[in-house]
Amino acid sequence: MNFYGHLVLALARVEAEQARLLGSCFPVGPKHLATALHVVAPNDDGLVALVPAISGISEYQDTSQNGWRASAVKIVAVDAIRDICILEVPEEWNFTLGYSLTGTDVMSLGDEVHVYGYPHMEYGRKVMTFQRSHVGAKVLISNHGVSVKHVVINTQLRPGQSGGPVFDVATGTLCALVTGSYAPDVKGTILVSGVDPVTLHQTGHAVSAEYIKDMVP
């Protein structure tokens, strides 16, 4: 199994000398990261990327660790229609990718996928988490008259996982970017302990990575 958890970073915003965790991101080039646009607002004031939480598949992650190592990143490209944002990393950072970017066209229903990200960030928890799942559906979602390719992943996704990568096991390629859980536009929605009950279902959405390739400078 190819493991890419050592490349998946967390994003945070520094406000009043406190770091507030936002979501996940991953490299799409030597100097660039991709994330979901809604994770960063878009606003790169105080925006930082935290070094990967894990370097090997057998490591423990210390949940009590507060001394996060972080560096400032800046927004260089956004796609509001498809909810994608490209970030530029500091000069001293340089990524070597062990994967290529494709898209959701290569996928079929039932295909196994690997999902990486940082769930439960809204509670200050920074734990890189790996999930195995499958493609439950391929859908076109219209946004401002533009049809956008997505896949439905058969696992519940939490807010901190937004912006994380989805890998197609069959091809070994990065095929999609997590955008979040489906939430119908209904009236009278309430929050229970900060959670919208309509998002508590066993599916999540991810947008095709093909759109990322044209955005990287």
123 found inside a domain: yes
Higher-pLDDT residue of 167 and 193 is: 167
Ramachandran area for residue 190 (φ above 0: left; ψ -120 to 50: alpha; else beta): beta
Whether the CB-CB separation of 166 and 151 falls below 8 Å is answered with: yes
* Residue 96 amino acid letter: T
Domain boundary among 38, 63, 88: 88
CATH number at residue 72: 2.40.10.10
**Under 8 Å CB-to-CB from 12, ≥6 apart: which residues?**
19, 20, 21, 22, 47, 48, 50, 68, 70
Sign of the Cα pseudo-torsion (14, 116, 161, 210, in order): positive
Give the per-residue pLDDT at 192: 46
164 found inside a domain: yes
79 found inside a domain: yes
Q: Rounded mean pLDDT of the chain?
A: 90
- Do 77 and 25 have their domain in common? yes
**Under 8 Å CB-to-CB from 22, ≥6 apart: which residues?**
10, 11, 12, 13, 39, 40, 121, 160
pLDDT surpasses 50 at 201:
no
Give the per-residue pLDDT at 53: 78
| Residue 183 confidence class, pLDDT cut points 50, 70, 90 | low
Instruction: Name the residue range of residue 28's domain.
Output: 5-88
113 found inside a domain: yes
How many separate domains does the chain show?
2
97 found inside a domain: no
- Do 114 and 23 have their domain in common? no
Q: Average pLDDT for residues 17-30, to the nearest whole number?
A: 94
95 found inside a domain: no
Q: What is the pLDDT of residues 131-156, one digit of tens each?
A: 999 999 999 999 999 999 999 999 98
Q: What is the pLDDT of residues 160-181, one digit of tens each?
A: 999 999 999 999 999 999 998 7
Give the per-residue pLDDT at 69: 87
Q: What is the pLDDT of residues 97-134, one digit of tens each?
A: 999 999 999 999 999 999 999 998 988 899 999 999 99
Q: What is the pLDDT of residues 41-88, one digit of tens each?
A: 999 999 999 988 788 889 999 888 677 889 999 999 999 999 999 999
- Do 112 and 46 have their domain in common? no
pTM of the model: 0.90
